[in-house]
Structures are given as structure tokens and as C-alpha cells.
Amino acid sequence: MDESEDVPKDFIKLKSEKLSVDEVSELVISPNCGAVSLFIGTTRNNFEGKKVIHLEYEAYTSMAEMEIKKICRDVRQKWPSVKHIAMHHRLGVVPITEASVIIAVSSPHRTESLEAVTYCINTLKAFVPIWKKLLFILTPSRGQTERVLSSLLGGKVRFCVGLWKSLESALHWTALQFARDL
């Protein structure tokens, strides 16, 4: 690589295809840098104690890209030795264990890239308009089930212990929740 071509660059992408750690890290590698720090956000199988079965990301795309560009500008002010910054975010369905976001930052020495990548992910979570839509499996309690059935049937429903025991293991509710991705 011609060193004069190795000017600092920002690589920003919102896309629905699977993200690649190798691809994002390759973008920021520079012959002048000894450090690349990365953060990968992956889909967990649980959220606030509930079992997640499906997760989708939605974004206000143009605004999200503008906010991510602002984060890159902030990084360059705070850590002037940072070389390249790459921030890729996946939209749509992201299966459990797959990456929803990958951020990579290169710098000559390690402290700057480690601090900058932490700043990038914290600021992205706080300010970039990307939300997640989660589908949970919930296991309802006896009282919850009685209340829902009572309101559906328009009269009081109470389970005796024996009936509840045989129903309990078969009952699952699914619940949809929108959340800011903090």
C-alpha cells in the first residue's frame, strides 16, 4: 500500500445481510498501525430475564447514518491518532449468536483504539435511532393465566391445583416488545 494513500477513512454501512468480522477488521488495517480494537454485538437468547426466540432491528436509516458519521467525527477529535473507523450494523432479522453490529478502530498504539471502540458502541447505543423488536416465549403463572382467561370468557376462571399442574407445562405465551437497543 502506498503510504500517502493511507489517509484516515470512515466505513459506515447499514445492511440486511450477515456481517463479517474478517471483512470489517480488514477495512481498518493500516501499515502504520499496531492496534485494531473491535466490538461485536451479538443476539442473545434472553432479554430482561425472558427467553428470546426472534429479534429484528429497525432503523431510521438516513438519520442513523448521520449520527454514526457524527460519532466518527467525535472520535477523531478525541483521539487524533486514530486511523480508520468501520461501523457496520445489520437490519432485519438477526438470529441468536449472529452479529447485529461490528465496530473496528485502528491506531498506531493500542490505548486509543481500545478507548475509541468503547466510545463508539456506547454512543451508538445511546444516540443512533436503531430499535430492536423482540419476540419472547413467556411461561405464564397460574394467576396470570386465570386473569387472561377470565377477561376473555367474561367470567371468573379458577384452576384447581391438579388441572393447573397438567396445563402448566403445555402453556407458552409469545410476547412482542419494541426496545431501544441499550
130 is a site residue for a second copy (CB under 8 A): no
Shortest reach from residue 95's CB to a second copy, in Å: 10
Binding mask 63-102 for a second copy (x = CB under 8 A): ---------------------------------xx-----
17 neighbors 57 (Cβ within 8 angstroms): no
* DSSP assignments along 33-94, one per residue: -SEEEEEEEE--SEETTEEEEEEEEEE-HHHHHHHHHHHHHHHHHH-TT---EEEEEE-EE-
Return the number of the residue (14 or 35) whose C-beta is nearest a second copy: 35
Contact residue for a second copy among 11, 12, 65, 121 (CB under 8 A)? 121
Q: Residue ranges for the binding site? A: 109-110, 125
Residues that bind a second copy (CB under 8 A): 1, 3, 20-22, 25, 29-46, 96-97, 106, 108, 110, 114, 117-118, 121
